[in-house]
Amino acid sequence: MENLQELIQSSTPLLIDCFATWCGPCKMVPPILKEVKDKLGDKIRIVKIDVDRNPQLSSQWQIASIPTLLLFKEGKLLWRQSGVVPAHQLLPLLQQYVQ
């Protein structure tokens, strides 16, 4: 398994789901991400990061509320949004960044 920094630097877009186990709205995100993965397949990678277990990343990315989605490609943060984003809104947004 590649480390997170390698995934962030990759030319394959990386969608990071910042969540916490105690967060109610965060529980709505996995089925949305599954739908995204089913549609985009290998064109995107999706990683979940528990903010409570990774406080240094939360601080580095200035995560103030969860869930927060972050999209990286080739080391650049292309997009971020806090809150639950429905699949029908998330897919077109991501499609502009995938090959």
> Residue ranges per domain, the chain?
4-95
**pTM tops 0.85:** yes
pLDDT along the chain (99 residues), means of 10: 86 97 97 97 97 95 96 96 96 90
* Structural contact between residues 49 and 19, judged by C-beta atoms closer than 8 angstroms: yes
CATH number belonging to domain 4-95: 3.40.30.10
State the catalytic residues. Answer: 23, 26
Which pLDDT belongs to residue 48? 97
| Residue 41 identity (one-letter amino acid) | G
pLDDT for residue 1: 45
Question: Rounded distance, CA 5 to CA 27, Å?
Answer: 26
**pLDDT of the residue at 98:** 86
